[in-house]
């Protein structure tokens, strides 16, 4: 035992439990990036809509669980689908995430919920009998983790601090996406250019019937079920150096490359940056389409002055090796080390259009699945009503069609229609 003086000195080093908890909460708050964002738009047809919501909470009433959502919806054949998606998509996504999850589990459940939310939005809008359609790019920012889901050709790019420019979406234009052309034709659609008098073909590749240039969208009930609402999803984690997101409709990307858009607004605050990107696009191409741009800056908490990505350093092969795909399990273990050396870590990426692949198996996802709830529309199911997402699917690797997740009859019929098959009618007890 030490002397009385030593014991007295050590007693002053003790910290009450309440103070420790308070300190941890403050540290957690400090570790989150500061968010700055801005939006600019120029309208020609009035079919672009956007969403910026920074007051979302994983646990209602708990500000430490806050996250932000940004979205671009570029409508066509009217604005009804874009407005409906802006107003309902986020709620449908959040409704597909089970309550009571911690941050890590919530982020792991998010990609699957995004798929469910996009498909439900499409199903609910089509039930209204309107023929409008829309692209949709939805971006969820929770701490340093960015999750992007997209259908169509509205794009999201990341200009990471100290790194290069990365595209976080995939364009679903038939002209540029050979995999999507193959999927559409295998599902019963036809892909070709517009034929005019004399048999001359003009314009970009389109899907027939309907003549849509995109292979994925929300709405478009007059085009065919092989134009699917299943999104490409990518989830990355930034280093604590921060970065900038640029989310924009094709009015921007038809005029500017990802690199030029990022470079044109470096060093400017988000609001001014969004205006400048729109200005540069109009200068290059004119106002030929609705043009909308959202800029989101994730700023390190210890920066007192707003920091945006500086002029890029030469992006060498060694840096390229660091931007690699990581499994969900290894991602969280390595995140601190990766952040320390300024690496953008890829946590998740999937672009399959097959729901049996995107919704997974309940055996491996018991924490994120309601056993007697439709995995798409979240409708309650009686034990003998659910139809496995794997039932009758030639694309499924599962040999157990009784395995969940389960779909209601309407959602299962929609799944089969999207895959070019008639409803199988396989019911699971």
- DSSP string covering 124-173: HHHTTT---EE-EEEEEEETTEEEEEEESS-EEEEEETTS-EEE-S---B
Q: Which residues, in sequence order, are CB contacts of 368 under 8 Å at separation 6+? A: 97, 98, 101, 105, 108, 109, 112
Structure tokens at 339: 């952040």
Contact 228, 418 (CB under 8 A): yes
Token pair listed for 104 = 């890590």
Does the domain at 34-167+232-350 match CATH 3.55.30.10? Answer given as: no
Q: Can you tell me which residue has the tokens 């890829």?
A: 346
Residue 287 gets which letter from DSSP?
S
Low-confidence ranges of the chain (pLDDT < 70): 1-30, 304-342, 362-371, 392-402, 422-429
- Domain definitions of the chain by residue range: 34-167+232-350, 178-213, 358-418
Residue 164: the pLDDT is: 86
Q: How far apart are CA 8 and CA 65, in angstroms?
A: 40
DSSP string across 218-255: EE-TTT-TTSB-PPEEEEEE--TT-EEEEEE-HHHHTT
Neighbours of 416 (CB within 10 A): 21
223 beta partners: none
| pLDDT score of 199 | 77
This prediction's pTM: 0.82
Q: DSSP character for 56?
A: E
């Amino acid at each position: 035992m030490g002397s009385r003086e030593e014991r007295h000195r050590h007693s002053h080093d003790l910290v009450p439990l309440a103070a420790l908890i308070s300190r941890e909460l403050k540290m957690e708050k400090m570790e989150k990036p500061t968010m700055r964002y801005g939006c600019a738009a120029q309208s020609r047809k009035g079919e672009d809509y956007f969403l910026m919501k920074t007051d979302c909470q994983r646990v209602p009433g708990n500000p430490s669980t806050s996250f932000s959502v940004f979205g671009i919806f570029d409508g066509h054949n009217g604005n009804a689908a874009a407005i409906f998606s802006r107003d309902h998509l986020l709620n449908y996504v959040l409704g597909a995430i089970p309550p009571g999850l911690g941050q890590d589990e919530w982020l792991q459940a998010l990609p699957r919920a995004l798929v469910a939310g996009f498909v439900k939005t499409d199903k609910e809008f089509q039930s209204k009998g309107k023929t409008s359609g829309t692209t949709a790019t939805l971006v969820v920012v929770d701490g340093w983790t960015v999750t992007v889901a997209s259908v169509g050709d509205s794009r999201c790019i990341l200009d990471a601090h100290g790194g290069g420019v990365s595209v976080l979406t995939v364009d679903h234009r038939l002209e540029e996406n050979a995999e999507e052309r193959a999927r559409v034709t295998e599902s019963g659609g036809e892909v070709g250019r517009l034929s005019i008098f004399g048999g001359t073909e003009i314009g970009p590749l389109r899907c027939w019937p309907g003549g849509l240039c995109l292979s994925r969208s929300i709405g478009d009930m007059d085009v065919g079920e092989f134009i699917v609402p299943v999104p490409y999803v990518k989830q990355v984690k930034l280093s604590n150096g921060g970065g900038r997101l640029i989310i924009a409709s094709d009015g921007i990307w038809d005029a500017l490359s990802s690199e030029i858009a990022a470079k044109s607004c470096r060093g400017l605050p988000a609001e001014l940056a969004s205006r400048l990107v729109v200005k540069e696009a109009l200068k290059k191409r004119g106002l030929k389409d609705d043009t909308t741009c959202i800029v989101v800056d994730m700023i390190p908490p210890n920066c007192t002055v707003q920091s945006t990505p500086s002029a890029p350093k030469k992006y060498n092969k060694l840096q390229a090796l660091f931007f690699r795909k990581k499994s969900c399990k290894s991602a969280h273990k390595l995140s601190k080390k990766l952040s320390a050396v300024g690496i953008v870590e890829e946590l998740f990426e999937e672009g399959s259009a097959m729901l049996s692949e995107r919704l997974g198996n309940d055996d491996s996802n018991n924490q994120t699945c309601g056993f007697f709830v439709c995995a798409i529309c979240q409708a309650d199911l009686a034990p003998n009503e659910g139809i496995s997402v794997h039932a009758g699917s030639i694309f499924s690797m599962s040999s157990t069609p009784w395995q969940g997740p389960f779909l209601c009859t309407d959602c299962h019929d929609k799944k089969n229609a999207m895959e070019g098959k008639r409803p199988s009618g396989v019911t699971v007890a």
